[in-house]
Structure 1
Amino acid sequence: MTASRKRTNTERRQASRDRILTAAEELFATGGYNGVSMKQIADAAKVDTSLMHYYFSTKEGLFGAVAARRADAVNEVRLTALKRYAEEAGDRITVEGLLRAYLEPTFAYVRRGGESLRHYLAIIAQLNSTQANAVPGLNGSPFDPAVREFIALLQRAAPHRTAAEVHWFYHMLSGAISLTWARTGRLDTLSDGLCRSDDFDTACREMIAVFARGLDVREAPEASDAASLA
């Protein structure tokens, strides 16, 4: 019988760090940044608070590490899908095609990631609806690289729209994504259980349907103003 290999100090430190991040992820997701203490996280991770400060210095540092933890993987999923679609579509690139490339692989990744990844996305939803610099030491979103590429491709797909209009379009879409990630349960209440805020598959499908023509079918400002005066 082969004896099990002893973990190295580096492996043990990494395991402790991961355990802290996983505990913090769940608590921040359910309690918010201001509703969770370092001691609560240490207790959930079954470590001493001194170890928390050793790895992350402050709660701000820990929250930043949690926010950055899975960002590279999510960005890679999005960027890979966007690049593939743009190459395949060429001059026939469409807003709907970009929405599918941006949203469907991300939602599929969430399904594979299970509840832990859903906790992570709930934290991102909090960040998306929080004033810039509200969390000390955390500036901007870790998803900006993929978002900027998505916006650039949207401008290719809708050259008749101004850069400002395309950014407003993303702003509205981002709100829908963030509310979905948050899983607030409000949809469940409003629909009397007909719809579930944790039904990510339907949320993805409906989001694409709602936003697919969002940059195509819009009244010119003059027409809109005239209608309001009628």
Structure 2
Amino acid sequence: MTARARRTNRERRGESQERILDAAEALFARSGFNGVSTKDIGQAADVDPSLLHYYFDTKAGLYLAVIARRAGYVNTVRRQALESYAADAGPGISVAGVVRTYVESTFELARQGDEGYLSYLTVIAQMNSTPAGGIPGLEGTPFDEVVQLFVDLLRRASPASNDADLYWFYHMLSGAITLSWARTGRIDKLSNGQCRSTDFEAIADHMIAVFSHGLDR
């Protein structure tokens, strides 16, 4: 029988950091940044809370690490979808096509149903509604570059729209996405169960239908 390889210190540190990030992500999603203490996170991750400060310095630093951990993949999914659509559409690019591509790629992770990503999206929803300065170090987001690509494609698709129109359009769409990612359950109660805040397929379909002609004049 082959002896089990001993983990290196680096591997053990990496595992501890992942447990902390997983625990923090779930707790932030449930209770928000201000509703969670480093002690809570340490207990959930089964590590000494001092490790949180060792690895991430502050609770805000840990929050930013939670945001950053999955941001690269989320950005890649959306950027590749938008760039592929723009290349295929060429001069036939349309607002409806840009919106459909952005919304479908945005909800791709949610539709997969992975609890980690669902918690992550809830954290992003909270972040998007946090006032400037509400969380130390959160002056911008890792998603701003892809948002600018989305706006650039809208500009190509709707050259008659001025920049203010385009950014207001994104603002409204982002608000709808954020509310949907938060999964508050309010639509479930309002509709007496006809609509479900976890039905991401229906949410994406209706969002595309509503926003596809949002820049029409």
| TM-score in terms of structure 1 length | 0.92
Q: Secondary structure at the match of 1:70?
A: helix
Give the root-mean-square deviation of aligned CA atoms.
1.0
Q: 1:127 to 1:63 in 2, by over 3 A?
A: same
Letter in 1 for 2:80: T
Correspondence for 1:53: 53
Alignment partners' CA distance in 2, 1:113 and 1:157: 32
Correspondence for 1:211: 211
- Once the two structures are overlaid, the 10-residue window that deviates more, 4-13 or 115-124, is 4-13
Unaligned runs of 5+ in 1: 219-230
Correspondence for 2:81: 81
Letter in 2 for 1:152: D
**Deviation digits for residues 177-212 of structure 1, max 9, x if unmatched?**
000000011100100111001111111111000000
Correspondence for 1:97: 97
Alignment partners' CA distance in 2, 1:12 and 1:94: 50
8 Å contact 2:100–2:212 — kept in the other structure?
A: no
Letter in 2 for 1:62: L
Unaligned runs of 5+ in 2: none
- Once the two structures are overlaid, the 10-residue window that deviates more, 99-108 or 206-215, is 99-108
1:109, distance to aligned residue in structure 2 (A): 2.5
Aligned pairs, number: 217
Q: Secondary structure at the match of 2:35?
A: coil
Q: Secondary structure at the match of 1:160?
A: coil
Correspondence for 1:142: 142
Q: 1:214 to 1:91 in 2, by over 3 A?
A: same
Letter in 1 for 2:155: Q
**Deviation digits for residues 123-181 of structure 1, max 9, x if unmatched?**
11111111112101111121111101000110110001111001100000000000000
Runs of 4 or more above 6 Å deviation: none
Correspondence for 2:6: 6
Alignment partners' CA distance in 2, 1:11 and 1:94: 48
Alignment partners' CA distance in 1, 2:32 and 2:153: 34
1:105, distance to aligned residue in structure 2 (A): 2.3
Indicate the percent of aligned positions where both proteins have the same amino acid.
58
Alignment partners' CA distance in 1, 2:111 and 2:144: 22
1:103, distance to aligned residue in structure 2 (A): 1.7
Pairing 1:143-222 to 2, within 5 Å after superposition? 143-216=143-216, 218=217
- Once the two structures are overlaid, the 10-residue window that deviates more, 186-195 or 2-11, is 2-11
Alignment partners' CA distance in 2, 1:206 and 1:99: 12
Letter in 2 for 1:156: R
Is 2:72 the partner of 1:72?
yes
Larger of the two Rg values belongs to structure: 1
Alignment partners' CA distance in 1, 2:93 and 2:43: 51
Alignment partners' CA distance in 2, 1:107 and 1:119: 14
8 Å contact 2:180–2:197 — kept in the other structure?
A: yes
| TM-score in terms of structure 2 length | 0.97
Q: Secondary structure at the match of 2:134?
A: coil
1:96, distance to aligned residue in structure 2 (A): 1.2
1:57, distance to aligned residue in structure 2 (A): 0.8
Letter in 1 for 2:210: V
Correspondence for 1:123: 123
1:113, distance to aligned residue in structure 2 (A): 5.8
